[in-house]
Amino acid sequence: MKTLFRNSLKTGIVFGIITVFLFLIGFTGTAANLLADLLHNESAGLFLGLTPLMLNTAIFLGLIGLWAGVSGASREQDIPGDPFGAAALGGAIAGVAHGLPVGAAVWLIGGLNEQGVAMSTYLAELLPAAVHQFLLGLAPMTAGIFYLLFLTTAGAAGGLLNRVLGRGSRKTRAAIRNRLRESVESLPVLQSLRKSTAGRYAVYGVLLAGLLLLPLVAGQYWNYTIGTVGIYVLLGLGLNIVVGLAGLLDLGYVAFFAIGAYAMALLTAPTPHHLMWNFWLVIPIGIVLAAVTGILLGAPVLRMRGDYLAIVTLGFGEIIRILSKSDDLSDFTGGPRGVPAVAPPDFFGLPINNAIGFVYLIFLAVLLVIFVTNRLQNSRVGRAWEAMREDETVSRAMGINTLLQKLLAFAIGAAFAGLGGALFASRNQFTGPEDFNLMVSINVVAVVIVGGMGSIPGVIAGALVLKGLPEMLRQLEDYRVMVFGALLVVMMLWRPAGLIPSSRRKMEIGRDAGLVETAEEGRGK
Amino acid sequence: MTVALETRGLTKTFGGLTAVNAVDLSIQEHSIFSVIGPNGSGKTTFYNCITGFYEPDSGEILFFEKPMTGLPPDQVTARGISRTYQNIRLFANMSAIENILVGEHSRMRANWFEAILLTPRVVREEKAAVEKARQLLSFVGLAGLGDQQARNLPYGAQRRLEIARALASQPTMLLLDEPTAGMNPNETHEMTLFIRRLRDELGITIMLIEHDMRVVMGISERIAVLDYGAKIAEGTPAEIQGNPHVIEAYLGSGAASGIKPVARQLE
């Protein structure tokens, strides 16, 4: 019983501190806005005399309280006789420990607010209105007591919920999960889909059809976001070859993106050169230019390993950006003002300048790049890259010309970025130096690492999470960096190998020398 | 009998330290040749010079009478010399069979462009490579473990996988660096038999660095002894066992005179 108290207490206190912190930085208000948008429960609060935002603040706090109760009770593993009573008690104890600091903070801050102390001088988000909202319009002491009771109740409910969910012990949880997975996997539909080639293609077909229909139903704004995610998938897949497969940490990857974009911009725009070439002609030029730059940069620096390579490439990325910004070169590059009126692609004479057309174009590019990556990864070349990543010295002794293979990886990665850059410039109909700052490189590295190094589905998941999710959570705009950091930390603990880690193909017992097998299948067996 | 590998006055220095000092060796084709010596006597440095990891300061290396001094490691492998490492160095995150396929790299031709197009030739080559990798897996007794990640294999299996990977490049000569390190007597015995099979069944010339004297004396046709980088003795196992220089190198001067009669009695 003693440990039950101690662990629940500890959990409650941690939740209390976090909740107070969230209140102080104004996150509770943002969350209430978000909930209001999601739930559309404007009318529900009126019965209680609450504004919609107050109601949703309370709902948010209630959810946190539930969560505190669930984790507070799950610390206790086996209580003979009365599991529900013990869980409720554990949850309630966590709730009290959660409610005390929150209640105290509410009382204190509410009191100060009533005295007219301008707390927003110290904490920008603590405006009187925000405090008033958090207090649900109650007097400070009443609100404090309300939160204590509310969170205690929520904690107890969370404790019960914990038992209902079967989260009581690790073993039961694992058992339930296994049973679920088995029952899903034994569904005859899935079985036959996995076995027959036709079935597998049917699944791909459905997915593809979904992808093709998506831009038609998504609005202008979402198509733009999908396009951005797609371009990051292109960049991620390119860097995935360099970092994920060949193990070369390139922090200046944005340079190749910029070269693709500037190739498209300078060759198709009316200023500064008045060349106005055709989009389709410039796409391969952008790709080849980026690849050649990759080789030119790679030749001298690829002898370096690890950190040194990262620093040199970091510098290279900045050099390209600063050159593109330079006033001296502005006759050639457009300088700091960038290049406007980049040409859109045309489709048999019809210009594609709407978001839908571009989404399809980017899909096409992504599919092409996935195809190429997949072929390379499962070939002699891909194995050589992975061997270099694992142990460069030994891979040389295995007969791999490491310098050549590194250059190849660099060039192909750069080519993908060049393609991405060319599409990017054409879609935005503009290109300027500020599109290519260091954060782009860092973001792409994050996409690869968060998604799972060396894994194609991982890169897609990474781009969706890091580029798509922030758009979906527009309300969280101010907290993006915080959430991003928290996400990275959580991910490193929870999935150190990435969201969808690369899986090894089964080859020894595979049919047809394993050539037709895909990674997904290998995992299923 | 032809000479497989020959070194003439091979020397490698690191600053003031002469790690390998004018070593002359010649190894007959299809023989098992051991290099022994106390710790730090330059055995692994000698290997690194032969396999192109280090460029020797002076001296020559001939492989089947063709000079190959200073060739980079990938070219040495292409010529037909393959090696294993003292501390196992597998590609830990790749599967066992992929490790072997990397070993076949120098015997395959597919370039990046063909790989993307997946030309019929590439398909054939890849099929043959996987088939050969499977055969090598069963040759080293790892059949059925091919899809395991290399790092998950037990220690003895990792040693054998490393040899399979070395064999995948179709070497005419194999350099083994302490293949029985860390093994129990039973595993050591199996490894000894296995090394002999490599020579008898595959006709590969074997050079061996080894500390376990039972292994060395049991399977070597000839033995060279290094001490402070220099070769101090060479001969058959029996000759080496009785050589006072060798005993001195291992046990210190002074010991040699006393040990010698004991060593004789042991024989």
DSSP structure string for A420-448: HHHHHHHHHTEE-GGGG-HHHHHHHHHHH
Q: In chain A, pLDDT over 90 holds for what percent of residues?
A: 35
- Which chain B residues touch A380 with a CB distance below 8 Å? 101, 105, 108, 110, 115, 125-126, 129
What are the angstrom distances between the C-alpha of B161 and each of A378, B77, B166, B182, B204?
21, 18, 9, 16, 17
Look at chain A and report how many structural domains it folds into: 2
Chosen domain end from A437, A457, A488: A437
- Does the residue A466 lie in any domain? no
Interface of B with A in 92-151 (CB under 8 A): 92-98, 101-103, 105-106, 108, 110-112, 115-118, 122-123, 125-127, 129-131, 133-134, 137, 144-147, 149
- Does the residue A191 lie in any domain? no
pLDDT digits (tens, 9 = 90+) for B142-170: 998 999 999 999 998 999 999 999 999 99
Please report the pLDDT score of residue A78 as a whole number. 52
CB contact under 8 A, B74 and A384: no
CB contact under 8 A, B127 and A507: no
Question: Is the pLDDT score of A82 beyond 80?
Answer: no
Bigger pLDDT: A43 vs A413: A413
* Bridge partner list, B175: B83, B207
Among B93, B104, B149, pick the best mutation site for testing chain A contact (most A Cβ within 10 A): B93
- Which chain B residues touch A505 with a CB distance below 8 Å? 95
Chosen domain end from A393, A417, A437: A437
- Cα separation, B34 vs B177, in Å, equals 10
- Cα separation, B2 vs B217, in Å, equals 23
Phi, psi of B2 (to 5 degrees): -90, 155
- Are A12 and A114 in the same domain? yes
- Are A401 and A337 in the same domain? yes
Of A383, A399, A512, the CB nearest to B74: A399
Interface of B with A in 233-252 (CB under 8 A): none
Q: Pull the structure tokens for residue B6.
A: 């020959």
Residues spanned by the domain of A120: 2-182
pLDDT band at A495; cut points 50, 70, 90: confident
CB contact under 8 A, B126 and A515: yes
- Are A151 and A255 in the same domain? no
Q: Which residue of B has its CA nearest to A398?
A: B103
- Cα separation, A389 vs B93, in Å, equals 10
CB contact under 8 A, B93 and A390: yes
Supply angle C-alpha A444, A283, A218, rounded to 5.
60
Question: Is the pLDDT score of A517 beyond 60?
Answer: no
CB contact under 8 A, B147 and A402: no
Tokens 């690849």 appear where? A291
Q: Decide: A33 and A474 in contact? Cβ < 8 Å.
A: no
CB neighbour class for A402 (10 Å; exposed up to 12, middle 13-18, buried from 19) = buried
Tokens 């109740």 appear where? A153
- Are A260 and A404 in the same domain? yes
Q: Pull the structure tokens for residue A359.
A: 């989404």
Please report the pLDDT score of residue A477 as a whole number. 62
Q: Where are the alpha helices (DSSP H) in A269-401?
A: 279-301, 306-325, 330-333, 355-377, 380-390, 392-397
- Are A298 and A430 in the same domain? yes
- Cα separation, B174 vs B168, in Å, equals 11
Q: Decide: B181 and B125 in contact? Cβ < 8 Å.
A: no
pLDDT band at A518; cut points 50, 70, 90: very low
Question: Is the pLDDT score of A374 beyond 90?
Answer: yes
pLDDT digits (tens, 9 = 90+) for A435-449: 998 989 999 998 998
Q: Which residues contact B101 (CB under 8 A, 6 or more apart)?
A: A380, A383, A507, B129, B130, B133, B168
- Which chain B residues touch A507 with a CB distance below 8 Å? 95, 97-98, 101, 130, 133, 146-147
CA A124 from chain center: how many Å?
A: 28
Q: Which of A22, A31, A56, A61 is nearest to A41 (CA)?
A: A56
- Separation in Å, CA of B211 to nearest CA in chain A: 23
| Complex confidence, ipTM | 0.89
Domains in chain B: ranges and CATH: 1-80+171-267 (3.40.50.300), 91-169 (no CATH)
- Are A117 and A174 in the same domain? yes
Question: Is the pLDDT score of A193 beyond 80?
Answer: no
What kind and span of H or E run contains A161? Answer: helix A140-164
- Are A159 and A81 in the same domain? yes
- Are A42 and A171 in the same domain? yes
* Bridge partner list, A430: A340
Please report the pLDDT score of residue A130 as a whole number. 84
Contact of B191 with chain A, judged by CB distance below 8 Å, is answered with no
- Does the residue A103 lie in any domain? yes
- Which chain B residues touch A397 with a CB distance below 8 Å? 51-53, 73-74, 76-77, 82-83
Q: Which of B201, B200, B202 is nearest to B221 (CA)?
A: B200
CB count in 10 Å sphere of residue A74: 25
Q: What is the 3-state secondary structure (H, E, C) of chain B?
A: CCEEEEEEEEEEEECCEEEEEEEEEEEECCCEEEEECCCCCCHHHHHHHHCCCCCCCEEEEEECCEECCCCCHHHHHHHCEEECCCCCCCCCCCEHHHHHHHHHHHHCCCCHHHHHHCCHHHHHHHHHHHHHHHHHHHHCCCCCCCCCEHHHCCHHHHHHHHHHHHHHCCCCEEEEECCCCCCCHHHHHHHHHHHHHHHHHHCCEEEEECCCHHHHHHHCCEEEEEECCEEEEEECHHHHHCCHHHHHHHHCCCHHHHHHHHHHHHC
- Separation in Å, CA of A520 to nearest CA in chain B: 15
Read off the pLDDT of each residue in A384-401 and give the average, rounded to a whole number.
93
- Does the residue A496 lie in any domain? no
pLDDT band at A37; cut points 50, 70, 90: confident
pLDDT band at A164; cut points 50, 70, 90: confident
- Cα separation, A440 vs A411, in Å, equals 19
pLDDT digits (tens, 9 = 90+) for A85-121: 778 888 888 899 999 999 999 999 888 888 888 877 7
* Bridge partner list, B95: B149
The DSSP call for residue A506 is P
Read off the pLDDT of each residue in A477-491 and give the average, rounded to a whole number.
72
Q: Pull the structure tokens for residue A377.
A: 């990864």
Please report the pLDDT score of residue B223 as a whole number. 95
Q: Which residues contact B140 (CB under 8 A, 6 or more apart)?
A: B160, B161, B163, B164, B167, B194
- Does the residue A342 lie in any domain? yes
CB count in 10 Å sphere of residue A496: 8
β-strand pairing of B222-227 with B32-36 = parallel
Q: Which residue of B has its CA nearest to A374?
A: B116
- Are A231 and A173 in the same domain? no
Of B89, B137, B165, the CB nearest to A508: B137
Contact of A49 with chain B, judged by CB distance below 8 Å, is answered with no
CB contact under 8 A, B126 and A401: no
Q: Decide: A132 and A143 in contact? Cβ < 8 Å.
A: no
State which residues of chain B have pLDDT below 50. Answer: 267
* Bridge partner list, B69: none
What kind and span of H or E run contains A340? Answer: strand A339-340
Q: Decide: B205 and B3 in contact? Cβ < 8 Å.
A: no
- Cα separation, A295 vs A297, in Å, equals 5
CB contact under 8 A, A384 and B73: no
Length of chain A in residues, anyone?
Answer: 525
Chosen domain end from A437, A453, A470: A437
Please report the pLDDT score of residue B28 as a whole number. 94
- Does the residue A462 lie in any domain? no
Q: Which residues contact B87 (CB under 8 A, 6 or more apart)?
A: none
Q: Kindly calculate the radius of gyration of chain A based on its CA atoms and give it in whole angstroms.
A: 28
- Which chain A residues touch B94 with a CB distance below 8 Å? 383, 386-387, 390, 504
- Separation in Å, CA of B210 to nearest CA in chain A: 20
Phi, psi of B206 (to 5 degrees): -125, 130
- Are A226 and A175 in the same domain? no
- Are A116 and A252 in the same domain? no
What is the rounded average pLDDT for all residues in chain B? 90
- Does the residue A449 lie in any domain? no
Of A376, A398, A401, the CB nearest to B103: A398
Q: Which residue of B has its CA nearest to A378?
A: B115
Q: How many CA atoms lie within 13 A of A157 on its CB side?
A: 12
Question: Is the pLDDT score of A433 beyond 60?
Answer: yes
CB contact under 8 A, B110 and A380: yes
- Which chain A residues touch B102 with a CB distance below 8 Å? 383-384, 386-387, 395, 398, 400
* Bridge partner list, B226: B231
Question: Is the pLDDT score of A523 beyond 50?
Answer: no
Read off the pLDDT of each residue in A215-235 and give the average, rounded to a whole number.
88
What kind and span of H or E run contains A346? Answer: strand A346-347
**Sign of the C-alpha dihedral computed for residues A384, A388, A390 and A396 taken in this order:** positive
Please report the pLDDT score of residue A214 as a whole number. 84
- Does the residue A213 lie in any domain? no
Q: Which residues contact B193 (CB under 8 A, 6 or more apart)?
A: none
- Separation in Å, CA of A396 to nearest CA in chain B: 5
What is the rounded average pLDDT for all residues in chain A? 83
Highest-scoring range by mean pLDDT, A208-212, A307-311, A387-391 = A387-391
Length of chain B in residues, anyone?
Answer: 267
pLDDT digits (tens, 9 = 90+) for B13-33: 998 899 999 999 999 999 999
